[in-house]
Amino acid sequence: LYMSVLNSTIQNLRFTSDTTPKPLVIVTPSNVSHIQATILCSKKV
């Protein structure tokens, strides 16, 4: 589902290439306190 949404909303066609790196996830924190936790966890990945 994520990739289909990403591809359908791409406005610059160079980002549709299979060789262009894509984000693994998009995180939308629901609380300000989640931002720091998200950053710390993402650094571990």
DSSP character string of 7-21: HHH--SGGGGSTTS-
pLDDT in the model for residue 27: 81
Within 1-45, residue ranges assigned H as helices are 2-9, 33-44
DSSP 8-state secondary structure symbol assigned to residue 15: G
CA nearest to 2, candidates 24, 29, 28, 35: 24
- What are the residue boundaries of the structural domains of the chain, listed by start? 2-44
Q: Compute the residue count for the chain.
A: 45
Tell me the pTM.
0.42
pLDDT in the model for residue 17: 83
Please write the tens of the pLDDT for every residue from 9-45: 777 777 778 888 887 877 888 899 899 998 898 887 6
